[in-house]
Amino acid sequence: MSTSIDNLPEIDQNDWKTRDQKAIWHPFTPLTDSHKIVPLTGAKGCYLHRADGRKILDAIGSWWVNLHGHSNEYIAEKIAQQARTLEHVIFAGFTHEPAITLAERLLEILPQNISKIFYSDNGSTATEVGMKMAFQYWHNQGIQKRRIIAFEGAYHGDTFGAMSVGERNTFTTPFHPFLFEVEFIPFPENPKTYTKDLIEHTRVQEDVIHRFKTLAESGEIAAFIYEPLIQGSAGMCMCSPEILNQLLGIAKQHQILCIADEVMTGFGRTGKLFASDHCEIKPDIICLSKGLTGGTLPLGVTACTDEVQRPYHTKDLLKTFFHGHSFTANPLSCVAANASLDLLLSVSCQEAIIRIEQSHASFARHIASHPAVLDIRQTGIVLALEIRTNAKTSYFNEVRNSLYDYFLEHDILLRPMGNVIYLMTPYIITDEELQVIYQEIENLLNKMVENE
């Protein structure tokens, strides 16, 4: 007889922690903090099930990947069926129905200029593939274009190419000698509610456009890589489609390949299926991962236009795109992605995205004037709240740990980036569950004002 997740035998979570500390190295976690790791026995819907019997409301989609709730039965059943048929095969020289179907379906919903799908296994590799495609595009034609433009504050992954086009900060300091040079330009962030007036904002945007145009006119730029509309790890910084469209227009005028890193923004997070759908001018390459499988299995996609592929269409073996991964187009991952698309494209899911977006907007209006709020911003179902502190806004703002601990104590998973709290929930979250999160955020803000 199977045992339900709510009736599991009692677990010695201290034993789990001890064993974990001896054997495991966790990401983005100081080794001295390994004792803070929370043992989980499972998850269902929007909740993570702790070993001590408590349930945690997942308000960040488990690092932005989960779209349809944990242990989704529809996706799980599709994976189980595929596991009994074909679990994996080398993708160099072979193909299979799940990969073909997924590629066809992605091409139906991606911008119309996109025509080919290249598989990898995570977000970092998806962006690595995109940059390699772009650089070799010029190399295959015998054209020397070896520079790339990226935004300050960017995050595109933790592999070396991805780090190179990301913000040079504390996270990457040990590797700076090994990263290639990049032309960084300021991110044209929307004006903050309280700290940046419209005149200053206009000046910053004009400077960004001027700097971008100057670089483009050099004739040396191979590609422009960007996170469309939202810079995730920078603290959910947001820009308008209009300013991004201007930059893309300049890039197109100067034959610069545009690489949209939609690893975080893809699959409905910005209110449309892809953030690029908000812009009139479309990228040449789009990188996808995270929500691609609904948060169940690792999978990456780099999609491109026919033009990007054109210099590779040759009998010259040396112009082949020599890139691949052992688990490229894993059938289980492709099946999970197809199942996730079934759910994502359903009327009920699209209505849920609109509902969450409207709910966030209502809460933002309610809380915007709170004295503890420095800024509040929203794009689609992504809501970010910048808390006023004595230190500057930063990933390393000391309030981060106390914020994280506060919400975890109240059974909510929010992983603040410094003094920035953000919401990116699964689409199945209910209005009642959203209100629980909103109320706890407001409770915290009130406590911060009382303790001043």
Span 441-451, pLDDT tens digits? 999 999 999 98
Burial (0-12, 13-18, 19+ Cβ within 10 Å), 330: buried
Q: What is the pLDDT of residue 100?
A: 98
Bridge-based pairing of strands 230-231 and 237-238 is antiparallel
Q: Compute and round to an integer the Cα radius of gyration of the chain.
A: 22
DSSP code, position 165: T
Partner residues linked to 45 by β-bridges? 70
Q: What is the DSSP letter of 388?
A: P
pLDDT tens for 73-85 read 999 999 999 999 9
Give the closest residue to 97 by CA, choosing from 324, 335, 328.
335
What pLDDT does residue 6 have?
A: 53
Chain mean pLDDT for the chain: 94
Q: How far apart are CA 222 and CA 237, in angstroms?
A: 26
What pLDDT sits at residue 194? 47
Question: Tell me, what's the pLDDT at 245?
Answer: 97
279 with 244: CB under 8 angstroms?
yes
Residue 220, judged by CB atoms within 10 A of its CB (0-12, 13-18, 19+), counts as middle
∠ CA 330-333-339, nearest 5°, is 140
236-247 pLDDT, tens digit each: 999 999 999 999
Task: State mean pLDDT over 38-66.
Answer: 96
Three-state secondary-structure class, residue 148 = strand
**Which residue is listed with tokens 């007036």?**
197
Closest Cα to residue 278, out of 307, 239, 231? 239
Residues 6 or more apart whose Cβ sits within 8 Å of residue 22: none
The reported pLDDT for the residue numbered 3 is: 42
Dihedral sign from CA coordinates of 154, 228, 301, 140: negative
pLDDT attached to residue 31? 87
Q: How far apart are CA 88 and CA 96, in angstroms?
A: 10
pLDDT digit string, tens, across residues 249-277? 999 999 999 999 999 999 999 999 999 99
pTM score, whole prediction? 0.94
Give percent of the chain above pLDDT 70: 96
Question: Which stretches of 195-267 are DSSP H helices?
Answer: 198-216, 241-253
Query: Please, which pLDDT band fits residue 193 given cuts at 50, 70 and 90?
Result: low
pLDDT single digits (tens) 289-347: 999 999 999 999 999 999 999 999 999 999 999 999 999 999 999 999 999 999 999 99
CB atoms < 10 A from the CB of 248, how many?
Answer: 25
Residue type, 39: P
| Contact present, 44 and 21 (Cβ < 8 Å) | no
pLDDT at 14: 81
How far is 369 from 371, CA to CA, in rounded Å?
A: 6
Mean pLDDT across 54-76: 97
Tokens for 6, please give them: 């709510």
Contact at 8 Å (CB) between 288 and 262? yes
Q: 200-230: per-residue pLDDT in tens?
A: 778 888 999 999 999 999 999 999 999 999 9
Contact predicate 411/393, CB 8 Å: no
pLDDT of residue 127: 98
- The pLDDT score that the predictor gives to residue 7 is 55
Token pair recorded at residue 106: 């992605």
- When pLDDT is averaged across residues 49-75 and rounded to a whole number, the result is 97
pLDDT at 11 over 80: no
